[in-house]
Amino acid sequence: MPEFDVIGLGLNATDTLLVVPQFPAYAGKVRIVEEITSCGGQVASALVACARLGLRTRYLGTVGGDERGRMQIESLRAEGVDLRHVEVRENCPNQSACIVIDRSTGERTIFWRRDDCLRIDPEEITAEQIVGGRLLLVDGHDTAAVARGAEIARGAGIPVVVDVDTIYSGFERVLPHVDYLVASSEFPAAWTGENDPCRALDAIQNHYGMRVAAMTLGAHGALAREAGRFIYSPAFVVNCIDTTGAGDIFHGAFCYAVLQDMPLGEALEFANAMAALNCTAYGARGGIRGAEEVRALMTRGERRVHPDFAVHSGEARFAR
């Protein structure tokens, strides 16, 4: 039996949240209502979501040797994430972000920094690190290392989930090893040049042969293609405090759903619900809930349907 359920290879970050009454106009000025330091990062936060759902998790990545790096290590260790293959880079600052949160809407604007001294080289990724898991989650950074990890997983029959938000140089080496693409709303069009999201997902899936090609739609949910059919899952309506980390938690919940053998529609609904609940508190991991609360929202929650999608018997059409 594998030692871990989910192994994550990718980013972590330590965030400074600045809560303001509303985001100022360009060159404007606004008073900070609250300042919060918290831990985040795409893969690291997704692993925390998995751990909260009872999964055994391992993180593969680099952490700076500064105070922000130590905060990240302590945060992941407290969640029970295995850190034996994490490399602390001394004299290197941890990835950080300054996140301005508009209190009137809960939307955030991110200013981030990741020094090159945190880069993961492909030679650092070994089969020993990967094959002990049931599923591998990767993001788009350090593309060569991610491609190496995904290739090892594919060779060992381990499903690969990728969280990608923009185009990275060399990412075409990752996609042939991916089973579940869960991209941002911008990525499919940017990658294919096709503005219709259904056609874009169709093109990516047909070219690379992945089982599921999906995209998150923020406040409107998620769209996915599997076996030639589209499934659209509307988002849940909650009292949104902060959207930071919603996509990361979506990916963690999606990994859990894959390992639970949920049908794709249910998996998207579960991930939408967990992401929505995370938006009810400040920080990338502030509103992570357990499966019971997620199921309760799925049962009783109000949905927000994207007005441009018509969903019919498993077929989704994008209306221009």
What's the per-residue H, E or C state across the chain? CCCEEEEEECCCEEEEEEEECCCCCCCCCCCCCEEEEEEECHHHHHHHHHHHCCCCEEEECEEECCHHHHHHHHHHHHCCCECCCCEEECCCCCCEEEEEEECCCCCEEEEEECCHHHCCCHHHCCHHHHCCEEEEEEECCCHHHHHHHHHHHHHCCCCEEEEECCCCCCHHHCHHHCCEEEECCCHHHHHHCCCCHHHHHHHHHHHHCCCEEEEECHHHCEEEEECCEEEEECEECCCCCCCCCHHHHHHHHHHHHHHCCCCHHHHHHHHHHHHHHHCCCCCCCCCCCCHHHHHHHHHHCCEECCCCEEEECCEEEECC
Q: Is residue 291 part of a domain?
A: yes
Q: Is residue 221 part of a domain?
A: yes
pTM, two decimals, is: 0.95
Contact indicator for 136, 180 with CB cutoff of 8 Å = no
Q: Is residue 26 part of a domain?
A: no
pLDDT of residue 307: 75
Radius of gyration of the chain (CA): 19
Other CB atoms within a 10 A radius of the CB of residue 150 amount to 26
For the chain, residues with pLDDT lower than 50 are: 310, 312-313, 315-320
pLDDT of residue 309: 67
CATH number at residue 289: 3.40.1190.20
Domain that holds residue 75: 4-12+42-91+119-318
Q: Is residue 102 part of a domain?
A: no
Q: Is residue 130 part of a domain?
A: yes
The Cα–Cα gap between 22 and 25 comes to 9
Mean pLDDT of the residues in the chain: 95
Q: Is residue 96 part of a domain?
A: no
Packing angle of the helix pair 42-52, 246-259 (nearest 10 deg): 50
Q: Is residue 285 part of a domain?
A: yes
The Cα–Cα gap between 211 and 177 comes to 11
pLDDT of residue 308: 75
Q: Please choose, from the candidates 274, 270, 305, the residue with its C-alpha nearest in 3D space to the C-alpha of residue 52.
A: 274
How many domains are there within the chain?
1
pLDDT of residue 199: 95
Q: Is residue 245 part of a domain?
A: yes
Burial of 249: CB neighbours in 10 Å, binned 0-12, 13-18, 19+: buried
Q: What are the angstrom distances between the C-alpha of 271 and each of 50, 116, 169?
A: 11, 32, 28
